Structure 1
């Protein structure tokens, strides 16, 4: 059947793991940077040790088992297979919630929040959680034609939720997942009860020339990102195919490309391994490596560059926002309210960063519960 939903389990063959280890041990390394920090990119010694661990000690089988402990399915929407975790709450009346990751994330980001959301102490806070892999990411299919931006992805999510039996549902996301979730609210307001975001990308009103201290901090954060932190995005937006040759062939290159962002975007005091653990970082990088999605994942940025209206759609359904201090963008509430017209919850945290579900799962769960409680 066209709308069939089929059980799925991740099964990376042992020979793929062996090939990864062989490639890592045969890496041709560049010389050291001429500085002793991360200002020219990932330090050689740091990455060599990470890749040594990846080759000799990282246990992909354990990561795969953790993932396969959650029910998973696939279904084909508009010609592209969609992989997702689908964890129904045992509590009657649980609100369906679709949670969407971004780059360089994956469904692994949400493993620690699924249990608290589906089986809370108070059954009135229960959710049935759906966590899809974006098109071109993880174990979802890779689009073979252009057009799969946040809008079309949101439409696909709405269809997936229908197939799972959910007519009314909430949406949550960060990074690209924030664009997809916002588009869900904008394009399917009759079905989406609310949208919760942990990243919002928006600027000041056109023509504004005077800014208070909070707004000045937001502008400075945006300036630093554009001048010193956005080269990856420009490459994704303009030449994802060219980038993909190196990353698809070199696991060390793939690791460097991703882990630089965990260093820059997490609340880690310069040490993402200490903050998140080397296994959690390499679990995420391994998803990109074993699925060969370096190119297809970057291509989403190419799509977004050609559909700017899908990056900041006006959302009129109820919305909530969690702001973490090490997030890339730090817009003040007044700027956000121009896009999210029914903003009902706003929480600025004092720790945490871009990968909220990994870095601060308890805080994110609490915010999601609080926001959706009156919307059930």
Structure 2
């Protein structure tokens, strides 16, 4: 059995210097590409502190282990007393293969394969039973964990039922803005915490060993967007453990309750939030925590 190894997420200073050097050397358009767009690209270069971000990242407990010849990187935090009657949970937060410090998977690797190694990870950490929560691509992982093929998984919750460097950073930033709730004004330059969080996430694609392309293989190796509905509704892909769904109005594909019912035999919790978007854990962390605390304890006791 492969051991669990503590992992140091510190980024060498020469890599940090290289990133900032490449950004400074980027040739920008002479005129705005988008009408009325500001030409101030200094948010990351001038207002963001990587040392502060590094300190924030390093306060968590980081580990790696090898499963099926893949190095899997994850954060593992033990539950802390909440000081109230609210339930608390241990957290195991792995990076998908090819993302962050997790090793890139071989060609043809699907998110169903990822679910299999995550089940191994949980058992390796000593959990005889567990519950799983995720959105976006992680949604497909928890769907598989909740398929009934993994006895240890007792319930799942999801908030979604269905230069190049600078260009990529602009693309990700645009995605955060487009799929955020405009009424909350979280994805704005004025929201320093939101911008700090986005700027902290972006360099990890540059600093960590797997290139950004490996994290995008899930678009190629898994079900295409146009067949999501049919894929989810297939008998073998139905979620059979208790399912909880939180949906947010500004998500890319807000899911109605009837839609969620077509993907499971066991919908036990459904809540339509009146605000929030695709990145709900960033925009609406309290609402997400409250939903999880309301749903999971009905089917799982830590």
Do the structures match in fold with TM over 0.5?
yes
8 Å CA contact 1:12–1:290 kept in 2: the answer is: yes
User: Judging changes above 3 Å, is the alpha-carbon distance between structure 1 residues 55 and 185 closer, same or farther for their aligned structure 2 residues?
Assistant: same
1:342 paired residue number = 266
Say if 1:179 and 1:311, in contact at 8 Å, map to a contact too: no
Partner of 2:281: 357
Equivalent of residue 88 in structure 1, options 73, 78, 93: 78
How far, CA to CA, are the matches of 1:329 and 1:290 in structure 2? 31
Preserved contact between residue 148 and residue 241 of structure 2 (Cα < 8 Å): no
Partner of 1:277: 194
Q: Is the 8 A contact 1:21 1:55 kept in 2?
A: yes
Equivalent in the alignment of 1:295: 213
**Shift of residue 343 of structure 1?**
0.6
Which of 149, 162, 175 matches 2:136? 175
Cα offset, 1:258, TM superposition: 0.8
Separation (CA, whole Å) in 2 of partners of 1:172 and 1:165:
19
CA 1:57–1:335: 2 relative to 1, 3 Å: closer
Match of residue 100, structure 2, among 118, 138, 147: 138
SS of aligned partner of 1:175: coil
Query: How far has the Cα of 1:187 moved from its partner?
Result: 5.1
Q: Say which of 134, 137, 151 aligns to 1:190.
A: 151
Q: Does 1:199 align with 2:152?
A: no
SS of the residue corresponding to residue 146 of structure 2 reads helix
- SS of structure 2 residue aligned to 1:125: coil
Question: For residues 119 and 358 of structure 1, what CA distance do their matches in structure 2 show?
Answer: 23
After superposition, the C-alpha distances for 1:311-352 in whole angstroms (9 at most, x for unaligned) are: 622001001000111111112111211112211111111111
Distance 1:25 1:162, change over 3 A: same
Give, in angstroms, the shift of residue 44 of structure 1.
6.0
Contact 2:148 2:240 (C-alpha < 8 Å) held by counterparts: no
- 1:71 corresponds in structure 2 to 61
Deviation at 1:9, TM superposition (A): 1.7
Matched, 1:155 2:79: no
Is the Cα–Cα contact under 8 Å of residues 158 and 244 in structure 2 kept in the other structure? yes
Q: What is the CA–CA distance in structure 2 between the aligned matches of 1:187 and 1:284, rounded to whole Å?
A: 33
The 1:290–1:126 alpha-carbon spacing in structure 2 relative to 1, beyond 3 Å, is same
Residues 170 and 54 of structure 1, relative CA distance in 2, 3 Å threshold = same
TM-score, structure 1 as length reference? 0.72
Scaled by the length of structure 2, the TM-score of the pair is 0.89
Q: What displacement does 1:306 show? A: 7.3
Please say if residues 149 and 300 of structure 1, whose CA atoms lie closer than 8 Å, have aligned partners that are also in contact.
yes
Q: Which moved more, 1:355-364 or 1:308-317?
A: 308-317
User: 1:293: Cα distance to partner?
Assistant: 3.3
Instruction: Answer whether contact 2:119 2:150 (CA < 8 A) is retained.
Output: no
Following superposition of structure 1 onto structure 2, how do residues 118-133 of structure 1 map, counting pairs within 5 Å? 118-122=80-84, 125-133=87-95
Q: Which residue of 2 aligns with 1:14?
A: 13
Q: 1:333 to 1:10 in 2, by over 3 A?
A: same
Cα deviation digits, residues 348-369 of structure 1 (max 9, x gap): 1111111111111110000000
SS at structure 1 position matched to 2:213: helix
CA spacing shift, 1:265–1:20, aligned 2, 3 Å = same
CA displacement, residues 278-324 of structure 1 (integer Å, 9 cap, x when unaligned): 21110111111212532111111111147968962200100100011
Higher helix share: 1
**Structure 1 residues 280 and 306: CA distance shift in structure 2, 3 A:** closer
Cα distance in 1 between the residues matched to 2:257 and 2:124? 36
- Unaligned 5+ runs, structure 2: none
Q: In structure 1, which of residues 56, 59, 81 is the aligned counterpart of residue 49 of structure 2?
A: 59
